[in-house]
Structure 1
Amino acid sequence: MIYGVVSHFSAGTTLFAILVSRSWGCYILTSPMGGRNGLKKVLIIVPFIALFAAVVALVYYGQWKQKSTSLYYSGTIEATESNLAFQINGRVARVVVDEGMAVKKGQILAELEREEFLRQLEKAHAVVEQAQTNIKRLQYLLDLYTTVLPQKVRQAQAEVAALNAKVQELESGFRSQKVAQARRAVEAARITLEDAKKDKIRFERLYKEGIASERQRDATLLRYKTALKEYQKAKEALSLLEEGYRKESIAYAKAKLMAARAALEQARGNLKKIEITQTELATAMAQLRQSKAAANLAKLHLDYTILRAPFDGIITSRNVEPGEVVNPAREIISITDLTTVDLKVFVPEPELGKIKPGQKVKVKTDTFPDKIYQGRVSYISP
């Protein structure tokens, strides 16, 4: 802000302000002035013309004159000014503006050294990529576990059920139906063997008498040998059924059942991997959010290394040089908007009734004493 000095005011006055363009030290034509009742209200007058020179404006206080209904008040012109500072600590790399330069909104004014901030941003991006890779790995494992592990449990359960049935069968022995079936098989094999034996004897005799050929004799001999083998196999099968299962077979089946039960317990235990992986995935996703937030902060800090103009204006102060170390508490550049300014003046309280919002006024400045600027009352302080 550009501050001015108000002079020649009595104690019973009230402050009001005017927006003026291209001049300083303003005169305001208003109603006559009254007694000393203390500062109570502020009157703001908005201009119609843009201001280009930011200097102190004095509106000269005058005395009531005969045949005149106008009074003169002194006041100060205040332009919109912004004192700029970097939002982070750093060393100044360059300053691209000087005092008096006109700048546009968003224009670069100064920059900090960026190398360290770039490294921090690259590191943050690497952490984000690592977190994303970890999430992909955990998601793959979770999909695999939720598909395969329950299937493994079902397979193990089926294996245990089958082996348990086998052990029960071995321990209870063969069914009587199977034994009877085996006995019928032995009897059928015995009958077949007796028929084959009779044919063998008969064709051997016929061969010796020259009635049967050697080929016929050999065929009956082969049929006899085959029938004999089938008979022996049927007898052995019947013998096993009548004796029952061996203890070794039962023990072996029980051992397989125990192994299958252990495999089932392990398969069920592996189901915990699903819950563990879900927890790890949730943690990894939280870490990803944190790493993204850190990356965004690093990007923001990198952006903070560039100081830009917040609005169109004139550089009115430059307090830094390249190589200096600065912090957010140090204001390094001031920029002023001279397109619109406020002119604040004090009015005696008895005369406030003659001043209304929207009332037109005339303003003069020391810079251009022969030029009159038009304005209007914008606001009266409560």
Structure 2
Amino acid sequence: MKKVLPVIILILAAAGAYMYWQNQNKKQDENAGIFKIYGTIDIRDASLAFTEQERIEAILVEEGMRVKKGQVLAKLRTAKLDAAIKELTARIAAQQETVAKLEAGSRSQEIDQARAEVQAIMARVANVTRTVKRLKATSRSGATSIQNYDDAKAQLKVEQAQLAAGRKALDLLIEGPRKEDIAAARHQLDALGASLDQLQVRLSDMILIAPADGIIQSRILEQGELAGPSKPAFVLALCDPKWVRAYIPEPMLGKINLGMTAQIFTDTLPGQPLDGWVGFISPVAEFTPRAVATEDLRTQLVYETRVFVKDPKDMLRLGTPVTVAINKNQTDARPAVPAETANLSRESVE
């Protein structure tokens, strides 16, 4: 017992010295305008899915891989879409020829041909007219029958009608296509072009790319599986932004403001604090009791606070416990983060 007593005294003395040292440091920090809060590193993640429904042709990344914004992660099969694009391209080419034909108008050869046909009909009309005149004279004398005369008059009317139709056709060729027909052909070509653009967009959607820098947290689908908008293929942990989720008691609300600068300390990087700033303070208490009546109960309320971290080397990980030293005498020029953004980021992690 006598040997144990000195050890206990040393332990108590060391504990007392440590508490004294802590209190002195706390007083020094308070005198310097610095106070500490404690929390964990939080990040956003994104569930990445294809907008098209098709079989996966290739998976190009693995879990844990770092990816850059715009990097290709996976591809879908495109055989059906390629065939549809090829067919529509041919239809567009045909419609372009139709528009060019209408815009060019009638060819001179076509007009000459129509004019020659009109002249031929005019010759037939003249010939039938002479026949009618002869039969009219001979039918009176009885040399020819009245039936022949009537047949000749009917033939003359047919030829005259054909002559009128030929002249109108010639006029139409000379005038060329109607502007309404040209406009309709152009609009049809535009519609086909818009359909092709839509197919091209769908073709680009057959490739899944990283929306931002990050780390592949989960690889959900595999090659050959059917992907779609409702089936995420990957979960991407975003590298930026990162923040410390901490909780401050109600009495500290008057000491902390948005924009205050901070230093973030971790056990894995001793003596290498990272810079940050206070970007969000929750407007509501996180823990019960929600209805507060006395001063004692008010001190039990805590409010969520987000301290955003500048981590250019990507050293921090989700859930890492940290200590945040906030300097109330300095502010950062970065804007505060709206509550809606903070709530969304919290839902993505939880």
Secondary structure of 1:73's partner?
strand
1:135 corresponds to 2:34: no
SS in 2 for 1:297: helix
Give the structure 2 partner of residue 304 of structure 1. Answer: 205
Q: Gaps (5+ residues) in structure 1? A: 1-64, 172-245
Output the TM-score relative to the length of structure 1: 0.49
| Structure 1 residues 144 and 256, CA gap change in structure 2 (3 angstroms) | farther
> Which SS does the other structure have where 1:320 is aligned?
coil
Share of identical aligned residues, percent? 28
Following TM superposition, by how much is the alpha carbon of 1:132 offset from its aligned partner in structure 2, in angstroms? 1.5
Mapped to 1, the partners of 2:83 and 2:164 lie a distance apart of 51
The yes-or-no answer on 1:121 pairing with 2:78 is no
Q: Offset at 1:258?
A: 6.7
Q: Does 1:97 align with 2:61?
A: yes
Aligned position for 2:21: none
For 1:372, the aligned partner's letter is P
- Alignment partner of 1:336 is 2:300: no
Return closer, same or farther for 1:76/1:148 CA change in 2, 3 Å cut-off. Answer: farther
Question: Unpaired runs of 5+ in structure 2?
Answer: 1-25, 139-148, 279-333, 340-350
Which deviations, in whole Å up to 9, do the C-alpha atoms of 1:156-204 show, x marking residues without a partner?
8xx89xx9xxx9xxx9xxxxxxxxxxxxxxxxxxxxxxxxxxxxxxxxx
Structure 2 counterpart of 1:81: 45
Q: Identify which of 66, 69, 75 aligns with 1:111.
A: 75
Distance 2:337 2:47 in 1: 28
Q: Residues 134-161 of structure 1: CA distance to partner in whole angstroms, max 9, x if unpaired?
A: 2233344x4449x949x96xx98xx89x
Tell me the residue number matched to 1:316.
Answer: 217
Paired with 1:121 and 1:380, the residues of 2 have a C-alpha distance of 45
Instruction: Name the count of aligned residue pairs.
Output: 239
Query: Shift of residue 317 of structure 1?
Result: 1.6
Structure 1 127/370 Cα, relative in aligned 2: closer, same or farther at 3 Å? Answer: same
| Counterparts of 2:28 and 2:201, CA distance in 1 | 66
Query: What amino acid is the match of 2:79?
Result: E
Counterpart code for 1:265: A
- How many Å apart are 1:339 and its aligned residue? 4.8
Alignment of 1:225-244 (within 5 A): none
Q: TM-score, normalized by length of structure 2?
A: 0.53
1:103 maps to a residue whose letter is: V
Structure 1 SS opposite 2:257: coil
The answer to whether residue 165 in structure 2 is matched with residue 266 in structure 1 is yes
Q: Are the equivalent residues in 2 in contact too, given 1:319–1:332 (CA < 8 A)?
A: yes
**Aligned ranges for residues 1-382 of structure 1 at < 5 Å?**
69=30, 71-140=35-104, 142-144=105-107, 148=111, 262=161, 265-267=164-166, 269-270=168-169, 271=171, 278-365=179-266, 367-368=268-269, 371-377=272-278, 379=336
Shift of 1:77: 2.7
Q: Give the whole-Å Cα distance in 1 for the aligned partners of 2:56 and 2:90.
A: 27
User: Does the 8 A contact of 1:124 with 1:298 survive in 2?
Assistant: no
CA distance in 2, matches of 1:113, 1:362: 49
Contact kept in structure 1, 2:213 and 2:239, CA below 8 Å: no
Alpha-carbon RMSD = 4.7
| d(CA) in 2 for partners of 1:380, 1:345 | 15
| SS class of match (1:314) | strand
How far did residue 130 of structure 1 move?
A: 1.9
Contact 1:81 1:336 in 2 (8 A): yes
Task: Give 1:380 shift.
Answer: 7.3
Contact 2:43–2:239 (8 Å) recurs in 1: yes
- Is the 2:102–2:177 contact (alpha carbons within 8 Å) kept by the matching residues of 1? no
Aligned in 2, Cα 1:258/1:120: closer, same or farther, shift over 3 Å? closer
| Aligned mates of 2:166, 2:42 — CA distance in 1 | 81
CA distance in 2, matches of 1:360, 1:135: 66
Bigger-Rg structure (1/2)? 1
Instruction: Render the CA deviation track for 1:302-343: whole Å, top value 9, x for unaligned.
Output: 211111122232222211110000111211112233254122
Cα distance in 1 for partners of 2:338, 2:181 equals 63
CA distance in 2 between counterparts of 1:293 and 1:319 reads 35
3-state secondary structure, aligned to 2:266:
coil
